[in-house]
Each structure stands twice: as structure tokens, then as C-alpha cells.
Amino acid sequence: MGVKVLAIVLAGGEGKRLMPLTADRAKPGVPFGGIYRMIDFVLSNLANAGYLKIVVLTQYKSHSLDRHISKTWRMSTLLGNYVTPVPAQQRLGPRWFAGSADAIYQSLNLINDETPDYVIVFGADHIYRMDPKQMVKAHIASGAAVTVAGIRQPKSLSDQFGVIDVAEDGRRIRAFREKPREVEGLPDAPDEIYASMGNYVFTTRALCEAVTADARDPDSKHDMGGNIIPMLVERGEANVYDFRDNDVPGSTDRDRGYWRDVGTLDSFYDAHMDLIATLPVFNLYNMDWPIFTNYGSWPPAKFVHSHDDRQGRAVQSMISPGVVISGAYVERSVVSPSVRVNSWAHVEGSVLMDNVSVGRRAVIRNAIIDKNVIIPEGAQIGVDLDRDRKLYTVSDGGVVVVGKNQHVEL
């Protein structure tokens, strides 16, 4: 019989830096790539690897996330498989999760019920493909208490990541530092560092003992990356897993090793732009390792009108089911289900979420438009940023963000 593995997905983050997209939903529940939610990426990685006992720990504004998991991620119970959202159970008193480590501590009953040999603890809000089974295999071979996934980044970007400092063997972690300015390069690449991906594989006993000890520390922030990993690093029981070694079926040279933390509006926007190139930086069309989701019973997309300057067309864009582009021009954009773009409108470099309606002769440029927004005839978004800042959210990179159900002014 093979080893028993339980997967825990941490999906409780508020996502303050993604406001207003997270004003009404948890960060992992934010739509991404037209038909997906952010959480679909980590769940697809686990499911493709054959890890089919998955607990999703939720907390803030989790209704739409819970509903998506319940409707989409149904597995056969015949073999005991499940994906289940678990909110703060308040088993230890009337309080919320105090941090990611506390979330696991308050959920130790779930681990005790399954009695796994190893526990995967992955974040819910990154965009990437990864075969977790290869990481688990490396963890078992290492004999470590925990293995941390690391992605190679230029040394010059060290102050943007949690940095994994490794020993001369290139595997054992000797320090775990948060956004340091001064760092040493890797033994085999002096100009590179390991950035933590927020993905961990634990030997079950080590995880349970660590979160229990952490719970007794009144000075702890009860955070996996900030407290639990440093605790095991200090004991010499932590190893790094090089994401470069992960070989996902169907990956191309262009998109192999892709990983994005979409924690800000600009990174969320940039990750969408990565999807739409002729040879995409992140390839959603890899059916050897599909990203699973459920987008309802929408009809096919439709493009209508084809005379003179009134032509329904889209180039270098991803168009979802249920979209009608009626005499409008869409370029370099990601368009979600049930969107309608009306005659002579121009949408450029933008992300339109479900049920957006774009009126005639409207212009949308470098924008993210959340669900159910109606853009009136002749409106302009992303054309005059000074005006937009008075009405909407504008990111540091100049991306205009219109929140869910928000009224758009002429």
C-alpha cells in the first residue's frame, strides 16, 4: 500500500491589496482567466497528481468560494475522496484563526481522522502548474521534517520575497528570511536566490508537534512561513525543493516553471496578460495537465456584424462562452462568460469579468472590470487616469479597477 497523504489548502486570506476585487469575496475566490477561480489552480495540481483528499481552510467572506467548491469540486465518495471547505470551527473557543499555523492547529482533528503519513500544505492564491507528487517523493527521500518549495529568482529581487538561504549542499535550509536586502546567492548560481512559494510538505508528526508548540507561544504570530518553518529550520530539519526540478506533463519551454503570486492588482493584471500571447507565458491549453473548473451552461461565444466599421472581432484575446461581441473591437483582453460588447466599442488590454455590459462607442483601456458592471454608451475608462482616480481604484501601474456592481459615470 502506498503512503497516505492529506492535502490542506490555506484559503483564509483577506487579500487587502486586491481591493476592490476582494470587497465581496475571499482572495482565492476571485475570478481568473475568464472561467476560473484562483483556487482552481492549486486544486487542479493536487487532483492531477492523484491527491484526492483535500481540506480547504477558509475564513474571510468565504460564501462564494464555498459555493464554487461545492458546485465544482465534487469527487466520487466511493473511494473516500473529497474536497471540503472547512471554516474556523472554534473548537478551542470563540475565536477566528489567528494565522495560518493556528488554522492548522485548530484543525488537527481533520489530520487525526485521516492519519496520513504526510501532509501537503499549499496556498490557494497562486497561478501555476506543479506536480505535488514529485515534491512529496523528494521530501520522503530527504528524511526532513518539512520540505519548502522554492523558485529561483534573480538575487536583485530578494527584497520582494521570503528568501530561503540554503547550506552548501543546496538542499538543507539554514535560514528563512523575509524580504532581506542583503543575501548570499545559491551554491550553484551566485546570482540567484530561492523565493518561497508558500508550498510545504510535512511529515505528519513534525507538523502536529510544531503547530502545537507554536500555539503555546504568546509572542508568535502563528504563521506558517513566519513561525513554523523557522522553528524547523533552527532544528536543521527543513529542506528546499527546487521548483525547476518539477516536470509537469505537457509543459513547453516557454511556460515551464511559471509561478505568479497575484497578491496585488498589478500582478493580477500582468498574470492575465501572460495568458494571451500567441505563445503564452502560461499555457491554459495544456490538456495533459488541465485546470479544472465549472462555468455553467453558457452557449458558445458569438461575433456579429461584418460591414464597414461595425465588425465584431477580437484579436490576441481569450473569449469565454456566452460572450457576444456585437460590432465591437476587442484586443489583448480576457473576456469572461456572459459579457456583451456593443457596436463601435473598443476594449484594449483589459480583463472583463462575468456579466459586464459595454455600451456603444465606449472605450475601455488597461482596466479590470468586475462582475455585473454596466458601462454606458460613450463612457471612457483608462483614457484619463486623473479623472479615473476620482471615481475608481487605479493601481500603482496605472490599471483602472471598477468594483463589482459599481456604477460607471459618463
Residues in the chain: 410
Mean pLDDT calculated for residue range 214-218 = 88
Mean pLDDT calculated for residue range 131-140 = 97
Q: Can you give the pTM of this predicted structure?
A: 0.94
| 17-47 confidence digits (pLDDT tens) | 899 999 888 899 999 999 999 999 999 999 9
- CA–CA dist 277, 317 (Å, integer): 8
179 is in an annotated binding site: yes
Q: Walk me through the domains of the chain, giving residue ranges and CATH numbers.
A: 5-273 (3.90.550.10), 302-402 (2.160.10.10)
pLDDT at 125 > cutoff 70: yes
236 is in an annotated binding site: no
- CA–CA dist 69, 46 (Å, integer): 14
pLDDT at 132 > cutoff 70: yes
pLDDT at 93 > cutoff 60: no
What integer pLDDT is reported at residue 89 of this predicted model? Answer: 64
- CA–CA dist 174, 238 (Å, integer): 8
Mean pLDDT calculated for residue range 137-153 = 95
Cβ atoms of 263 and 15 within 8 Å: the answer is yes
- CA–CA dist 173, 362 (Å, integer): 54
Cβ atoms of 57 and 103 within 8 Å: the answer is yes
| 278-290 confidence digits (pLDDT tens) | 888 999 999 999 9
